[in-house]
């Protein structure tokens, strides 16, 4: 976080009684709103000094065979490449001298609280959009289109025809099934069978169920209970202890759909694939900047965030997005 203050004449005195406490209040508000963020759990957070980042999956045959007096070497090549292009996001507020003269600190705190919450929630909307719109080529964040749902193969994170750089058969990680124990097992088995870029077993482990808040009760029944629900003999619940449940508050059904989406994930492989690229030179999540202008007697406060996010691979995810 960088706080930058530009001095500008006599107006400094009036603004000075509000400036530092309100900027600190903004910072506290952002941190408070972000404390339950799932970005750090779902994404690998990286800082970058480059205009874009390109990460390729290396493909090729690396097989262990019996020792015959020398090493055998597999030939590697660059596979599909995911390109992240960070977007500059900004917002600001302006106060003239006469409004400030009549303002109370408590009222201004409410303004700055909303400002800070907006910054934190904007990040969450970007992060959760990859799940809500997993089967789409792009989605809107405050009216701005971003194509961050696309993976390295150029297809959405969820698709019925996923392609590989070195394997000719398409694969499928998208269903339209409601959440229940039988359908959960269908997605788990699909994940076990996923092939890597060269057509070998990818070794994915379905260890996490992600649901929106609308499926919280069903998710807790499926994952959290020791006994299988809706049975008279209380059979053991095979998912209890073997899967983690994430109730994602910013994960929603798409507009126009009736039923709720859900996702099975390999949490370890997903975090290796999911990147949150922060482009700010300071390495911080945001800059908060203050200007005071003597000529027009206006105090302006602006905030900048510069980032992108996305997943290099679709393989750690199996989605169900019912109609």
Res 79 pLDDT > 90: no
Q: What is the pLDDT of residue 116?
A: 94
For residues 209-232, average pLDDT: 82
* pLDDT band of 53, cuts 50, 70, 90: confident
Other C-beta atoms within 10 Å of 39: how many? 18
For residues 53-64, average pLDDT: 72
What domains are defined for the chain?
2-54+82-314 (3.90.1690)
Chain center to CA of 197: 24
* pLDDT band of 71, cuts 50, 70, 90: confident
Q: What is the pLDDT of residue 278?
A: 96
Instruction: Report the alpha-carbon distance of residue 78 to residue 125 in Å, rounded.
Output: 32
Q: What is the pLDDT of residue 306?
A: 96
* pLDDT band of 255, cuts 50, 70, 90: very high
Please classify residue 159 by burial: count the beta carbons closer than 10 Å to its beta carbon, then call 0-12 exposed, 13-18 middle and 19+ buried.
buried
Residue with the bigger pLDDT between 308 and 79: it is: 308
Q: What is the pLDDT of residue 263?
A: 98
CA-nearest of 141, 154, 74, 120 to 305 is 120
Q: What's the Rg (C-alpha) of the chain?
A: 24
Residue with the bigger pLDDT between 84 and 261: it is: 261
Instruction: Report the alpha-carbon distance of residue 91 to residue 144 in Å, rounded.
Output: 14
E strand residue ranges, 11-75: 44-47, 53-60
Identify the H or E element spanning 218. helix 216-219
Q: What is the pLDDT of residue 109?
A: 86
> Is there a contact between 275 and 313 (Cβ–Cβ < 8 Å)?
no
Res 42 pLDDT > 80: yes
Q: What is the pLDDT of residue 269?
A: 96
For residues 45-63, average pLDDT: 80
Q: What is the pLDDT of residue 296?
A: 84
């Amino acid at each position: 976080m960088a706080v930058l203050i530009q001095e500008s004449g006599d107006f400094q005195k009036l603004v000075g009684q509000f400036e530092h406490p309100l900027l600190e209040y903004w910072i506290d508000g952002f941190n408070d709103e972000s404390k339950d963020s799932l970005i750090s759990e779902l994404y690998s957070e990286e800082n970058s000094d480059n205009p874009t980042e390109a990460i390729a999956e290396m493909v090729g045959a690396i097989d262990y065979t019996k020792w015959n007096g020398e090493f055998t070497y597999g030939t590697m090549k660059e596979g599909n490449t995911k390109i992240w292009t960070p977007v500059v996001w900004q917002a600001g507020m302006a106060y003239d001298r006469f409004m400030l003269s009549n303002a109370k600190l408590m009222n201004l705190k409410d303004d700055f609280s909303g400002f800070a919450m907006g910054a934190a929630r904007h990040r969450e909307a970007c992060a959760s959009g990859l799940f809500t719109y997993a089967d789409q080529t792009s989605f809107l964040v405050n009216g701005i289109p971003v194509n961050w749902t696309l993976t390295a193969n150029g297809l959405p994170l969820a698709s019925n025809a996923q392609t590989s750089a070195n394997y000719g058969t398409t694969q499928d990680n998208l269903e339209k099934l409601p959440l229940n124990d039988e359908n959960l097992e269908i997605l788990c088995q699909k994940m076990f069978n996923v092939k890597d870029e060269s057509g070998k077993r990818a070794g994915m482990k379905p260890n996490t169920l992600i649901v929106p808040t609308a499926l919280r009760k069903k998710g807790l029944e499926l994952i959290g209970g020791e006994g299988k629900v809706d049975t008279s003999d209380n059979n053991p619940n095979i998912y209890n202890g073997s899967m983690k449940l994430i109730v994602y508050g910013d994960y929603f059904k798409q507009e126009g759909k009736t039923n709720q989406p859900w996702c099975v994930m390999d949490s370890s492989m997903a975090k290796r694939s999911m990147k949150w690229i922060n482009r700010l030179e300071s390495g911080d999540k945001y800059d908060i900047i203050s200007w005071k202008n003597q000529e027009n007697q206006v105090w302006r406060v602006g905030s900048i965030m510069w980032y992108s996010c996305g997943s290099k691979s679709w393989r750690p995810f199996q989605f169900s997005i019912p109609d």
